[in-house]
């Protein structure tokens, strides 16, 4: 029967006759439009026939492809497209299956034109919103095929470009068709993302390489019309813009793998461009997920080459700055913790010389200069990201970094590496550099919150170390915190200006919070400034930083009491240069004189007391004539003009404390306080952190203890240890601790509540008791010095006992503490 129907056209089903009638005798004539309208009307009138129409069209198309009748193939696809656009009935699902089967047949062809034709039809289909869902449709083949087309390597450049653009359009169509339909195949699965994302990145990367060959300007407009990079970027942005919270990871991971496989971290230009596209395309609340992915990738590549890690860090820097404008969330401290950990690892690599901690066969030997570049990249990233954070988060980051800085401790001996550099020293330098980056531009109206006690104590404890570089970083960090009006750069040069109005300083009245801060921490700051001035390893930069710190304290945090204390401090620094108990070099002494002249010149004009300004001006003019080597204009230059002898400096060249206290006292300043010379109160912390290594400190203590112990000591027989002995010892120790705790509580309570007269009387009684005990000891220890005759003959020939009191004897300096 079917054979008879096939022979007799009139007996064939109507839908077949309608389909056959749309094909002309000559394919060049194109689709017969009138017959196509009849077919469309029939499909709309009898939607149950739509699946048969699609199956028959598919059969004809497959036959025409096999016979290489490509004109009829184009007509069939045009008819399918029109039917798809016109029909939205419930039976379209079966028709779509036939349609996708025909598109797949075209994509499998080796003919570029057929591939492009199939892609265009698929794109039209992707833009159609279907009325009914599909539960069983699969796009795996199309993802694979379109991704393959994106990597086309056809010999003809024009055809290759068209195929690649068709592949990108096809992927864009798959994304549009499936991304928002939960019933469709999940396009966010790794098996799909691992094909789609690298294909898009490949075209971005390939076109960048082509652009680097600098095509002629005349050819550029024509190529802009067929540029796969722009299309790939639009598709990537659309894909990422549709990504939900749980899909970000699957979309970002292929990007990282692609950059790894093609070694694109080292030039880092393409990597930065990719992540800029990502960060600006995703929703702002998803930014921290990208940051987390980058941090995890950085940890995973912790043993990779320094150039690779530096590229990841640069990308992280760009991404973090963009993310900070949105929502970074809980990744702030996580990011800084990861970066600081990478800094410490890099320091270990430099010291050990390899990534595995030991050099062996097959071990990658590091390049120190590359590690230095990586460290600088990490520090730059820390600073750039911190600059975008709000004040409260920035304060947390500052405290977090400071808590990581290793400080001298008897319980943590220093370690040394193969280059002889100290691991802790390198860590201190890197972390302080990071802290300086974070503190630059930090603005806080309350210094108590900007410099809390726990942070300031740890920071200043590093200010007295031997390392000059560390001391300089500490001074610059303090300057960054104190400078809140942008006056820092105005004190970059130390000079004695006759009129400081040219500096255009921004001076604001000291707030109540700043006054409380200075009452609490001023002496601590003064002590560290004073001790820093006495360091013989100071260079020009140190004195510039000290001058800037003094000047900024005077502008930002000064009231009358602070001004008086700063003047006393600078006069004490002048005494250091004059007395020279520290045996400082000539340059350091001249620098201290010049530093004092520059600061007193500044503070005298800030206080606007005419007599004070006149005295400072007179001393400066005298120095210009007789001792220019005591002024900053001759000292702080590239080739300092110094003297060979600073002994016997006449009083006219010095700023006199008595004169300053007299002139300022007449203007309402505390003259009694000005008359008292400044003497810093040294603490155990200063002595511990100031000198020597920790190992030398311990050995010195052990040596002193061994000298103080008797050489021959009678051994006490050991007491037998029993259960009762141990029990008694524990009970006694607990009782002693309770008594000591109670005694301390009483002492603290007494000093808090007792009147000042009672406390003064108590301290005076203790001082007198101590003096009486010392007198007794001195009287007992007086003994006549040994002599052959046992006596010393006096000047008049009469024997006379003679002895020298112990407290008048001259002891070596090492015995004095």
> H or E element: which one contains 448?
helix 447-450
pLDDT at position 482 over 50: yes
Identify the band that residue 529 occupies on the pLDDT scale cut at 50, 70 and 90. very high
Residue 710 has pLDDT above 70, yes or no: no
Q: Please tell me the predicted confidence (pLDDT) of residue 42.
A: 81
With a CB cutoff of 8 Å and minimum separation 6, the contacts of 492 are 544, 548
| pLDDT of 538 above 90 | yes
Q: Rounded to an integer, what distance in angstroms lies between the CA atom of residue 814 and that of residue 682?
A: 18
DSSP secondary structure, 372-384, as one string: HHHHHHHHHHHHH
d(CA 183, CA 178): 8
Across the range 290-318, mean pLDDT stands at 92
Task: Classify residue 462 by burial, with Cβ atoms within 10 Å: 0-12, 13-18, 19+.
Answer: buried
Write out the two tokens for 785.
């010095």
Report the distance separating Cα 758 and Cα 750, nearest Å: 10
**Residue of higher predicted confidence among 144 and 792:** 144
* Residue 434 phi, psi dihedral angles, 5° rounding: -65, -45
Q: How far is CA 268 from the centre of its chain?
A: 19
Return the pLDDT at 379.
Answer: 93
Q: What's the confidence (pLDDT) of residue 801? A: 46
- The contacts of residue 451 (CB under 8 Å, 6+ apart) are 481, 517, 521
| DSSP one-letter string for 297-314 | HHHHTTTS-HHHHHHHHH
| More reliable by pLDDT, 544 or 131 | 544
Q: What is the pLDDT of residue 425?
A: 85
pLDDT in tens, 779-791: 776 554 444 434 4
In the numeric block, which tokens belong to residue 5? 């129907």
Say which DSSP state 800 is in.
Answer: E
> Cα separations (Å) of 30 from 14, 41, 735?
22, 20, 109
Is the confidence at residue 718, as pLDDT, over 60? no
697 contacts 707 by C-beta, under 8 angstroms: no
Residues 6+ apart with CB under 8 A from 159: 112
Whether 601 and 503 have beta carbons less than 8 Å apart is answered as no
CA distance 810 to 565: 35
Tens of pLDDT, residues 502-513: 988 888 888 888
Range with the lowest mean pLDDT among 189-193, 594-598, 696-700? Answer: 696-700
Average the pLDDT over each of 182-186, 389-393, 607-611, 645-649 and give the range with the smallest value.
182-186
Burial profile 415-431: b = 16 or more Cβ within 10 angstroms, e = fewer = eeeeeeebbbbbbbbbb
Written as six digits, the tokens of 473 are 């970083």
Report how far residue 72's alpha carbon sits from residue 193's, in angstroms, rounded to the nearest whole number: 36
* Alpha carbons 200 and 258: distance in angstroms, whole number: 11
- Residue range 725-730: average pLDDT? 62
Q: Give 774's contacts (C-beta < 8 A, 6+ positions apart).
A: none
422: phi then psi, degrees, rounded to nearest 5: -85, 130
| Residue among 395, 392, 546 nearest 478 (CA) | 546
Q: How far apart are CA 372 and CA 350, in angstroms?
A: 9
Residue with tokens 């109507």: 14
Would you list the DSSP string of 514-555?
Answer: HHHHHHHHHHHHHHHHHHHHT-TT--HHHHHHHHHHHHHHHH
pLDDT band at 326 (very low <50, low <70, confident <90, very high): low
Q: What φ, ψ does residue 506 adopt, rounded to 5°?
A: -95, 105
* 18-22, 86-90, 344-348, 773-777: range with lowest mean pLDDT: 86-90
Least confident interval from 195-204, 262-271, 708-717 = 708-717
- Ranges 203-212, 218-227, 272-281, 583-592: which has the least confidence: 218-227
Percent of all residues in the chain with a pLDDT value above 70, rounded to a whole number: 78
Give CA angle at 50 (45, 52), nearest 5°. Answer: 130
Residue (of 274, 161, 143, 254) closest to 207 by Cα position: 161
Average pLDDT over residues 143-172: 92
pLDDT reported for residue 65: 80
Give the span between the Cα atoms of 138 and 445, in whole angstroms: 62
Q: Indicate the SS3 state at residue 354.
A: strand
Q: What is the average per-residue pLDDT within 686-710? A: 40
Query: Which among 490, 481, 483 has a CA at the least distance from the CA of 456?
Result: 481
Task: At 432, list the tokens.
Answer: 């302080």
| Alpha-carbon span 119 to 124, nearest angstrom | 9
Q: How are beta strands 799-800 and 792-793 bridged, if at all?
A: antiparallel
- Give me the pLDDT at residue 294, please: 93
Of the candidates 199, 202, 201, 172, the residue with the CA atom closest to the CA atom of residue 187: 172
**Facing residues of 793 across strands?**
799
The residues facing 792 across adjacent strands are 800
Distance (Å, rounded) from C-alpha 50 to C-alpha 46? 7
Q: What does 754-816 look like in DSSP terms, one character per residue?
A: S-HHHHHHHHHHHHHHHHHHHHHHHHHH--PPP-SSSSEE-TTS-EE-----GGGS---GGG-
**What are the domain boundaries of the chain?**
12-133, 483-509+520-688
- Beta-bridged to residue 800, according to DSSP, are 792
What backbone phi and psi angles, to 5 degrees, belong to 799? -65, 140
Q: What gap in Å lies between CA 521 and CA 453, rounded to an integer?
A: 8
787-794 contacts at long range (C-beta below 8 A, 24 or more positions apart): none
Query: In this predicted structure, what is the pLDDT of residue 707?
Result: 42
Backbone phi and psi for residue 643, each to the nearest 5 degrees, phi listed first? -100, 165
Q: Is the pLDDT of residue 759 over 80?
A: no
Q: Is pLDDT at 271 greater than 90 in this prediction?
A: yes
pLDDT at residue 310 in the model: 93
Across 28-44, average pLDDT: 81
Closest CA to 231 of 146, 289, 133: 146
CA gap 675, 137 in Å, rounded: 94
State the Cα torsion 658-659-663-666 to the nearest 10°: 40
pTM of the predicted model as reported, rounded to 2 decimal places: 0.72
Mean pLDDT, all residues of the chain: 80
Distance between CA atoms of residues 28 and 25, nearest Å: 9
| pLDDT for the residue numbered 750 | 75
Confidence of residue 525 (pLDDT cuts 50, 70, 90): very high
Residue whose tokens read 């930090």:
442
813: left (phi over 0), alpha (psi -120 to 50) or beta: alpha
In sequence order, what are the beta bridge partners of 416? Answer: 422
CA dist 238 to 36, 123, 224, Å?
Answer: 36, 15, 20
pLDDT in tens, 622-644: 999 999 999 999 999 999 999 88
- How far, CA to CA in Å, does 667 sit from each of 560, 608, 610, 661? 11, 10, 10, 10
Q: How far is CA 96 from CA 18, 41, 50, 58, in A?
A: 19, 18, 10, 11
């Amino acid at each position: 029967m079917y054979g008879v129907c096939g022979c007799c056209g009139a007996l064939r089903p109507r839908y077949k006759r309608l389909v056959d009638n749309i094909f002309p005798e000559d394919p060049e004539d194109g689709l017969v439009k009138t017959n196509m309208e009849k077919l469309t009307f029939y499909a709309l009138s009898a939607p149950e026939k739509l699946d048969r129409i699609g199956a028959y069209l598919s059969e004809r198309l497959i036959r025409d492809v096999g016979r290489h009748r490509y004109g009829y193939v184009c007509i069939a696809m045009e008819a399918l497209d029109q039917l798809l656009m016109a029909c939205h009935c419930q039976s379209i699902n079966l028709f779509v299956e036939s349609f996708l089967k025909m598109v797949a047949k075209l994509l499998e062809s080796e003919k570029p034109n057929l591939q492009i034709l199939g892609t265009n039809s698929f794109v039209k289909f992707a833009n159609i919103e279907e009325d009914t869902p599909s539960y069983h449709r699969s796009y795996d083949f199309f993802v694979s095929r379109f991704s393959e087309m994106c990597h086309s390597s056809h010999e003809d450049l024009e055809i290759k470009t068209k195929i690649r653009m068709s592949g990108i359009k096809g992927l864009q169509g798959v994304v549009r068709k499936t991304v928002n339909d939960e019933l469709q195949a999940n396009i966010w699965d790794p098996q799909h993302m691992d094909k789609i994302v690298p294909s898009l990145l490949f075209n971005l990367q390939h076109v960048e390489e082509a652009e680097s060959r600098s095509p002629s300007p005349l050819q550029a407009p024509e190529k802009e019309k067929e540029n796969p990079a722009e299309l790939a970027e639009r598709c990537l942005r659309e894909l990422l813009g549709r990504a939900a919270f749980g899909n970000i990871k699957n979309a970002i991971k292929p990007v990282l793998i692609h950059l790894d496989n093609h070694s694109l971290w080292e030039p880092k230009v393409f990597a930065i461009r990719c992540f800029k596209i990502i960060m600006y395309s995703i929703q702002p609340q998803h930014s921290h997920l990208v940051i987390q992915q980058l941090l995890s990738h950085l940890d995973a590549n912790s043993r990779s080459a320094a150039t690779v890690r530096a590229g990841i860090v640069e990308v992280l820097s760009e991404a973090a700055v963009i993310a900070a404008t949105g929502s970074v969330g809980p990744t702030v401290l996580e990011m800084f913790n990861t970066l600081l950990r990478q800094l410490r690892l890099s320091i270990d690599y430099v010291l050990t010389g390899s990534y595995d901690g030991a050099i062996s066969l097959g071990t990658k030997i590091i390049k120190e200069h590359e590690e230095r570049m990586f460290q600088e990249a990490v520090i730059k990233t820390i600073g750039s990201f911190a600059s975008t954070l709000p004040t409260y988060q920035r304060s947390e980051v500052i405290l977090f970094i400071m808590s990581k800085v290793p400080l001298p401790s008897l319980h943590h001996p220093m370690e040394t590496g193969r280059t002889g550099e100290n691991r802790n020293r390198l860590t201190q330098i890197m972390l302080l550099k990071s802290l300086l980056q974070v503190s630059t531009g930090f603005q806080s109206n309350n210094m108590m919150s900007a410099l809390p006690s726990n942070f300031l104590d740890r920071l200043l404890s590093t200010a007295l170390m031997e390392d000059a570089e560390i001391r300089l970083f500490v001074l610059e960090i303090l300057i960054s915190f104190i400078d809140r009006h942008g006056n820092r750069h105005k004190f970059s040069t130390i000079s004695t200006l006759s009129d400081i109005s040219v500096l255009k300083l921004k001076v604001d009245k000291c707030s109540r919070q700043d006054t409380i801060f200075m009452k609490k921490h001023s002496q601590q700051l003064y002590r560290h400034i004073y001790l820093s001035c006495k360091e013989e390893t100071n260079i020009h930069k140190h004195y510039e930083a000290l001058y800037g710190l003094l000047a900024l304290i005077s502008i930002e945090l000064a009231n009358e009491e602070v001004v008086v204390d700063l003047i006393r401090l600078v006069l004490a620094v002048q005494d250091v240069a004059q007395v020279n108990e520290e045996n400082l070099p000539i340059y350091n002494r001249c620098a201290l004189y010049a530093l004092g002249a520059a600061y007193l010149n500044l503070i005298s004009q800030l206080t606007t007391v005419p007599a004070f300004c006149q005295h400072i001006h007179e001393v400066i003019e005298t120095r210009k004539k007789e001792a220019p080597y005591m002024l900053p204009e001759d000292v702080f230059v590239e080739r300092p003009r110094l003297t060979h002898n600073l002994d016997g400096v006449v009083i006219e060249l010095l700023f006199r404390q008595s004169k300053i206290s007299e002139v300022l006292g007449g203007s309402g300043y505390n003259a009694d306080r000005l008359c008292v010379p400044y003497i810093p109160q040294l603490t155990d912390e200063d002595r511990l952190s100031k000198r020597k290594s920790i190992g030398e400190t311990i050995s010195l203590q052990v040596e002193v203890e061994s000298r103080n112990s008797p050489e021959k000591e009678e051994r006490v027989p050991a007491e037998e240890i029993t259960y009762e002995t141990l029990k008694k010892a524990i009970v006694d120790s607990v009782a002693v601790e309770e008594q000591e705790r109670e005694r301390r509580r009483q002492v603290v309570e007494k000093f808090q509540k007792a009147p000042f007269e009672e406390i003064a009387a108590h301290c005076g009684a203790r001082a007198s008791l101590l003096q009486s005990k010392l007198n007794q000891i001195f009287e007992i220890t007086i003994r006549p010095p040994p002599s052959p005759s046992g006596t010393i003959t006096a000047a008049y020939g009469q024997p006379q006992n003679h002895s020298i009191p112990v407290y008048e004897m001259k002891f070596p300096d090492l015995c004095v503490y």
